[in-house]
Structure 1
């Protein structure tokens, strides 16, 4: 069996709980510079928090959680757009021993209630803009007993729910000592983001304190050994600002927020991607590197907005969450000649974030489309998806990963966990790829059926289940169709009971129940029969063929 190992030295994993590590790091940075800004609102420079203030606010929030009865193992569900206050909620919950299960602000109340009921969240925290979704959702979520609102909470009452103000929470006097908790960090779960895995509806991914600690250590090792040195020989991230706009409810976004506390620089937070704000922030703060997803690279390569701003400070662009094409990387570097490299990484929520990362200066020539080499402490192998046999260099097979970042498992889903992580600890990614003679990995196809819209995961099974609930739909199948701006878009094939059903009615039905990125913007096509195998599995390859699409 050929097992590939990282060419980087293994890193030591801190087994202390994440809250303890975070507080120690924030305190250290506050001592170095009491006025150092930890987070800044990208649209309002006067809306910021220093490391010193953050340290004190986290302590107040921990005291408030204790006051309202939040205890170890309770599930806290934040629902909000990106804002620096999220860091207080995330880190404070960890210190209190609670588990955080962030939910998308784009969810409908039906989608939100599904997650709340699945993870049994007892405390929900939201901003005012999310109340329209949150209030009807918690009425259908019996586990939720408490609600904290960022902003004005007056006039909002829900039967059986205690409603609090986040502002009042931060006025709570800190405890004399932190809550006494009996930790088992290899088993205690710190965060439960939701992922569709390789197939099926969303599942809670149980990430332990040790999983998160390992990923942060591995990630920092990559940054300090390759990325920072590539930017400038004497690059000190503590003196720099970085832009974070990837959604915090996504493991990538939460990991960037967490990692920033160990790095010690200033993170500029965008609530969501806005082209003008994106460019102006890079220009204003003279940022040297930025983390994006491929659709943002399309914007950087093609939008006339880019020409209005001075982005000459940018040296490297890191891409993740979806496959990155070689041509797009080259276009960005031509458009922004100071950019020395566009490099990508590879990972899944189930890995806590990543397993592979490309060193910026090596993303050239035939390596430009590579996902890179293995991160420290990570092992990988390529196997035949049909036989499980280990494969050698340049042979296409399923990429399997073993690392200290691999999740504990799916929440309350033993079968799905066993289907994803085998008895030897190998996580089966569902992605087809190969490794070259130099140990660089490449993604060429994917076994899994997920549709990736602007980096968001859209499981066909979820939309198919929803479509089948329509009284005029007999059968349905969903595939992803290529789109230059979004990467992919969901397209539905429908077998209808009545010819009176129109494509617009189908689109409206889905739009009313799902987040915008799940809408059927790839189209609706009516057909006589959904092609299926003898076992009943949808033959998506045939649907792609009938639509004139190459398999993604």
Structure 2
């Protein structure tokens, strides 16, 4: 009974229950007893919709099964967060409860009510997808995967492709089947792809075929037919390839059969999938780099991603029917995956996908042609867009809201945006990570402009954030730096097949240790002050130096290699490396080093600046100083620019 009452009163109210040590003992006792006994009757309708209270997620309170499918007005569900008076601890609040809907349930309802409504427009493919098309094609593919290929609920489905209409269909088919979608960076080469196939245990890999337009971005079909790749995956669970576009010229890649959509004619019917959809079941496996350079797979549920994007949309003020989202972001990233794909279905907002990958011309054309009102972007993309429309004299009058993520936002960029795109009234930045579904804090559409410029906002509803001393784990006072810890419904379930890394990242109390340094003020606004971990962020892409250093050290002429980031106005951080050469090997030039890395690393991981040195600055006789390398590099680049 007390647990039931706590759910209704909410976390903050529960913390303020009457104290029996106070002088007003009898009135307080009377108040408590009255609510204790009558709450079951007053709140019966709400209690019937409650989920179980999860110990590690204390703010996971009321859920309803159909609130997302009801017509809400434009009321702001967002409530001011609770913030501790002295310590850097806060949690978000909302008048809206959780949803326990799954995407197939929402899609079924939307298709029945308004099947002809266009939800996705693929500008580059000149395609549109309506609710009815999404339901029919996704459910059909799920049936094919299950009945003809043998993929079952809980199996891993790999998806290795750029942004296409069929990417969306495959994702929703996995949801209908109850399988786990493994999103894979489409620029991965042999070793990177082989590692993910092995680590994820995926049974089928969706990818572009021969003659696909996507082959101009990566040699997909050559990678999977490479002898090294086939050898590395020979002992894995991989059993099939499925081409999502292009043509099939071979029936097998190695020993693995190759399927296409044409193998399963529309005239042929298949029994429907009838698996129970639990919103807490794993839904997606997204890989994020680790400190060793090897990616770690964050296992996420539909519940976490769906509610994350719903609460974030409230924070953005996206309520009315005029919202149309422009998404140039890659689907395999958590940002686009959740706040592009999920948001479209959850909020019934049409999404325009601009191109296979980010192209500033396609973005400009899409916003102009389809009159997009919301732009999902990184700061780097916005900088490029402003430069492009400025040089071409283009106005984008339909845009009103920009939601930025993936990198720290320079306050000056906000001023530039509102000058060059005057119709934009709201520019919001947020903070999160793949492990956090991904949003954790976000500024609100009605926040003070100075807060929007200088912070990444406050915790989303039902998400706790605290700043702790990294050594003692004690909560820091307001305005003091410490590590950002997060607890709530949005925290990943675990790192897949990696119990050690999971224990290192998530405490026994359910707190995810981000490794980022932050500062919280007395109103709960968060500022990002740096990173404990060595991760670099270039144009929104996460890069770990160790992985690049390992690739460099595989060159026979390179003796030592150290990688670090230097500030860059456009991409945030540019990748730089200092290397020393083996005197017994032929010399190599910086250009040759970069060419060598192209066959081993995704393009954005390749250092822009390569310096060949004889020795490295050191803090002691055994430890090099990357900080000193960084300082010297910045000075050298300044001098070269002057000359």
What is the DSSP-based 3-state SS (H/G/I as helix, E as strand, rest coil) of the residue aligned with 1:254?
A: helix
Is this contact kept in 1: 2:279–2:303, CA < 8 A? no
Distance 1:184 1:50, change over 3 A: closer
Structure 2 residue matching 1:243: 3-state secondary structure: strand
Shift of 1:453: 1.7
Give the 3 Å change call, closer, same or farther, for CA 5–174 of structure 1 in structure 2. farther
Does 1:191 find its partner at 2:284? yes
8 Å Cα contact 1:61-1:169 kept in structure 2: no
Q: How does 1:21-32 map to 2 (within 5 A)?
A: 21-32=102-113
CA distance in 2, matches of 1:459, 1:27: 41
8 Å contact from structure 2 (residues 360, 385) kept in 1: no
> Would you say the 8 A contact 1:355–1:375 is kept in 2?
yes
Give unmatched runs, 5+ long, in structure 2. 1-83, 210-214, 637-643
Q: CA deviation at 1:243?
A: 1.5
Give 1:15-54 correspondences, 5 Å limit.
15=100, 21-45=102-126, 47-54=127-134
Determine if the alignment matches structure 1 residue 369 to structure 2 residue 463. no
Q: Work out the CA distance in 2 between the residues paired with 1:82 and 1:322.
A: 21
SS at structure 1 position matched to 2:423: coil
Of the candidates 44, 51, 68, which is equivalent to residue 149 of structure 2? 68
Residue by residue over 1:450-497, the C-alpha shift from the partner in whole angstroms, topping out at 9 and shown as x without a partner, is 121211111101011112222222221100122223222211111221
Residues 279 and 306 of structure 1 are in contact (CA less than 8 Å); yes or no, is this contact kept in structure 2?
no
CA distance in 1, matches of 2:391, 2:106: 36
Measured after TM superposition, the shift of residue 167 of structure 1 is 3.9
DSSP 3-state at the match of 1:432: strand
Q: Matched residue of 1:8: which SS?
A: strand
Shift of 1:3: 5.9
The 3-state SS of whatever aligns with 1:112 is helix
Q: Which residue of 2 aligns with 1:125?
A: 206
Shift of 1:63: 0.9
5+ long unaligned stretches in structure 1: 230-234
From 258, 281, 302, the equivalent of 1:163 is 258
Aligned with residue 201 of structure 1, among 293, 298, 317: 293
- Counterpart selection for 2:348 from 249, 264, 281: 264
Corresponding position of 2:587 = 500
User: d(CA) in 2 for partners of 1:332 and 1:342?
Assistant: 8
Shift of 1:305: 5.1
Contact 2:484 2:517 in 1 (8 A): yes
Q: Distance in 2 between matches of 1:459 and 1:363?
A: 35
From the superposition, tell whether residues 283 and 262 of structure 1 become closer, same or farther in structure 2 (CA, over 3 Å).
same
C-alpha distance after superposition, 1:488-511 (max 9, x if no partner): 221111122127233222222212
Q: CA deviation at 1:195?
A: 0.3
Superposition map of 1:62-461 within 5 A = 62-66=142-146, 67-128=148-209, 129=215, 130-136=220-226, 137-138=229-230, 140-142=232-234, 143=236, 144-151=238-245, 152-169=247-264, 171=266, 173=268, 175-180=270-275, 186=280, 188-197=281-290, 199-209=291-301, 212-224=302-314, 226-228=316-318, 235-236=320-321, 239-255=322-338, 256-270=340-354, 271-304=356-389, 307-362=392-447, 364-461=449-546
How far the C-alpha of 1:191 sits from its partner, in A, is 1.2
The answer for the alignment partner of 2:81 in structure 1 is none
Q: 1:531 to 1:146 in 2, by over 3 A?
A: farther
Cα offset, 1:185, TM superposition:
5.2
Contact 1:384–1:390 (CA under 8 A) maintained in structure 2:
yes
Work out the CA distance in 1 between the residues paired with 2:500 and 2:625.
23
Q: Using a 3 Å threshold, how does the CA distance of structure 1 residues 139 and 96 change in structure 2: closer, same or farther?
A: farther
Structure 1 position 174, deviation (Å): 5.3
1:543 aligns with 2:629: yes
Cα distance in 1, alignment partners of residues 386 and 535 from structure 2: 26
TM-score by length of 1: 0.90
* CA distance in structure 2 between the aligned counterparts of 1:203 and 1:457, rounded to whole angstroms: 11
- For 2:343 and 2:623, the matched residues in 1 are separated by 41
Q: Distance in 2 between matches of 1:500 and 1:307?
A: 45
Structure-2 change in CA distance of 1:12 and 1:168 (3 Å): farther
Give the secondary structure class of the aligned counterpart of 1:60: helix
Distance 1:99 1:277 in 2: 31
Range moving further from structure 2, 427-436 or 364-373:
364-373
1:285 deviates by 1.6
Distance 1:306 1:332, change over 3 A: farther
Deviation larger for 340-349 or 476-485: 476-485
Q: How many residues align?
A: 532
Measured in 1, the distance between the counterparts of 2:443 and 2:205 equals 38
Deviations 1:339-397 (A, max 9, x none): 11311011000111110011123251254121001101100111122332210111111
